[in-house]
Chain A
Amino acid sequence: MTGELTGHGRLPAAFLSPGTSSFTEFLSREAPDLLPAGRALPPGQAGDLAPHGTTIVALAFPGGVLLGGDRRATMGNLIASRDIEKVFSTDEYSAAGIAGTAGLAVEMVRLFRVELEHYEKIEGSPLSLDGKANRLSALIRGNLGMAMQGLAVVPLFVGYDLAHAGGRIFSYDVTGGRYEETGYHAVGSGSLFARGSLKKLYRPDLDETGAAMVALQALYDAADDDSATGGPDLTRRIFPILHVITAEGGHTLADDIVSDLADQVIAGRMGRPDGPVAPLAVRGGADSEGGAS
C-alpha cells in the first residue's frame, strides 16, 4: 500500500478496475489494515484503556433536525477531555454524534464521512438518507467483536431527507441494528436523564432556537445526574456543540450563539436548579403549555 500512497509509479490495476462505489469495500480489498474492523484484539476486556464519550441528544423540528453533544470524555473516574468534539458533520445533509469509545468512534465517523463523499463523487449523486443510515449500520456491525470486549461505539445519526422534506433521526445498537426515532432521542451514559428531560420539553412545533434551547436543557439535566456528562463550563466558556441541518444544508451553531443560549439556561437554573416546569396535565391538545386557560 505504501507504493500506492507515495505517488510513484502508475496507478495499481485495482484502482483502475471498475467495481464498487463504496470506499469501505475498496479499502477492505486493497488496504484492509486501514479499516477499523480489520483488527483483531487479544482476548480480554479493553474498555478501561481508552476515553469514552458520553451524551448525545437529537431532536427534529419543522424544517430541520438538531444534533447536540456535551464536551466531556471520561476514563474511569478521570475526565480525559473537557473540550472533545463528539458531533460531526458527515456530509452536507447529515451528521453523526458519537457515544462510546472515543478513538474508535472518531475513526468510524471519519471513515463514514469518506464513504459518503466517495459514493457521491463516483456515482455523481448522493446516497439517500436511508442508504447513508444503512452504511453506518454496516460499519457498526463490523465493530461487534471489539464492542464485546468493551470497546463499543454507539452513534446517533441525523439528517435532512430531501425526498421527504424533513429531518430524521436514527439510533443504533452495537450489533448494527438501526432504529428510526420520532421527534427526539439521546444516547450515551447520560441519555437516561437527557431523554426524560427531552420528553417533557420537546414539542413538535419548535423553531431552530427553541430546539437548541431544549437540547441545552436536556444536556444540562444529563450533566446534573450523570458524572460522565459535562455540564456548561462557565470558567473556560466551553459549551455543548450544536449542529443544525435544514434544507439549505448543515451548519454548526456559532460559539457566541450557543454561549448566549447557555447563559439563559444557567440564569434560569439559578432560580430553579431543576429547570423549567412542565404542566401537570395536558388540557385540550398537545400545545397547551401550562399557561392561563
Chain B
Amino acid sequence: MSTPFYVSPEQLMKDRADFARKGIARGRSVVVVQYADGVLFASENPSQALHKVSEIYDRIAFAAVGRYNEFENLRIAGVRLADMRGYSYDRRDVTGRGLANAYAQTLGTIFSSGGEKPYEVELFVAEVGDDATGDQIYRLTYDGQVADEHGYAVMGGATETVTGYLAERYEDGLDLDAALRLAVAALGHSDSDDRVIAPGDLEVAVLDRTRSRQRKFSRLAEARLVAILGATPPTPPASAEPSAAPASPDDDPPIAPPVS
C-alpha cells in the first residue's frame, strides 16, 4: 500500500510563499510617498487602460502589483464593499482600516487554504486624512499580513533597491512636485544605473486632501507629469548620484538627501 508523501507544514507554507513571491517579483514596482497635501502613488505602467492604482472611495485608494486578474478582482470587491458600507451607513463610515482588514482576511484565508492557489499580489490601501498625521498607508502581502507604513513604501520587483533609495532621500512635508520627482527617480533606480522613465510610461495618482470635491483621488495626466518632470532630461535626484562609483552595487555611499 502506498503512503502519501509527508510534507511538513513549514515546507508547505514555504513552497506557497515562494510561489507567490516569485510571481510578484516579476512585475515592476509601485511606490507610495506621503507628501504635504496627501499621498502619491507612482508606478511604471505603459498601459493607459490597465491601472495599477485606482480609486476605492472618497479618501481611499488602492495600488497593487502582481497578477492583474487577481488584484482586479480584489479591487472590484473593495469598491463594492466600500460603496455598500457607505450606502447603508454614511460616507464617513468607510475607512481604510476596515478595507485593509477585509483584504487581509481574504488573502490570509486563500493563502492558508489547501484548495486555492495563493494570490500572487501585494496591495497598498491608503487613506488620506484631514492633515498629514491622519494619513494611513497599509501594505498587504500575499499571505494576508498587514503592515502600517509611514512616509514611503515600495512593493513589487526591485523592492530593496528602491526602498534604499527612498530611505536615503525621503523627508517629511515634501510638496507634490518634489515627491513626484523623488518617486519617479526611485522607480528608475537600480543597482547598476539610473534610468529616466518617460512620462508616458508612468501611472501617477494622488489622494489630495486639498481637493475641493468629496472624492480626493485624482490621476495626474501625462501633460501634468511633463510639466513637473520635464520632457526627457534627468531629474535632480538622479543627477545627485555621483557618477564615479557605479561599479560597486551593494555599498552605496550614504548620500545626503537632495537639497531641492
Residues of chain A whose beta carbon lies under 8 Å from any beta carbon of chain B: 4-5, 7-11, 15-16, 18, 23, 26-27, 30-31, 34, 92, 110-111, 114, 117-118, 121-122, 124
Contact = CB atoms under 8 A, between A and B. Distances in A.
Nearest to B106: A10
Interface residues of B, number: 30
B105 A15 contact: no
A5 B81 CA distance: 8
A11 B81 contact: yes
B16 to A, nearest CB: 17
Interface in B164-189: none
Given A5-B89, A8-B105, A23-B80, 4 more contacts: A4-B81, A92-B213, A118-B80, A121-B83
B158 interface: no
7 contacts: A11-B74, A11-B77, A11-B103, A34-B87, A34-B88, A121-B56, A124-B54
Contacts, number: 71
B102 interface: yes
A7 B76 CA distance: 16
B79 A118 contact: yes
A206 to B, nearest CB: 26
Given A4-B81, A9-B105, A11-B106, A122 B87 contact: no
B86 interface: yes
A111 B49 CA distance: 27
B2 interface: no
A121 B79 contact: yes
A4 to B, nearest CB: 7
B84 A122 contact: no
A114 B83 contact: yes
A124 B51 contact: yes
Nearest to A249: B213
B52 to A, nearest CB: 12
B98 A122 contact: no
B122 interface: no
A9 B73 CA distance: 17
A5 B106 CA distance: 14
B101 A7 contact: yes
Where chain B touches its partner, the secondary structure class is helix
B55 interface: yes
Contacts of A18: 73, 76
A4 B84 CA distance: 9
A127 B153 CA distance: 34
Contacts of B73: 16, 18
Nearest to B105: A10
Contacts of B54: 121, 124
B114 to A, nearest CB: 16
B41 to A, nearest CB: 15
A139 to B, nearest CB: 13
A265 B168 CA distance: 64
Given A16-B73, A122-B79, A124-B51, A31 B84 contact: yes
Contacts of A4: 81, 84
A7 B104 CA distance: 11
Contacts of A111: 87
A23 B88 CA distance: 12
B192 interface: no
A10 B109 contact: yes
B85 interface: yes
A5 B79 contact: no
Nearest to A2: B88
A110 B81 contact: no
Contacts of A117: 83, 215
Nearest to B79: A121
Nearest to B108: A10
Contacts of A10: 102, 105-106, 108-110
Contacts of B110: 10
A264 to B, nearest CB: 28
Nearest to B213: A92
Nearest to B55: A121
Contacts of B80: 15, 23, 26, 118
B260 to A, nearest CB: 33
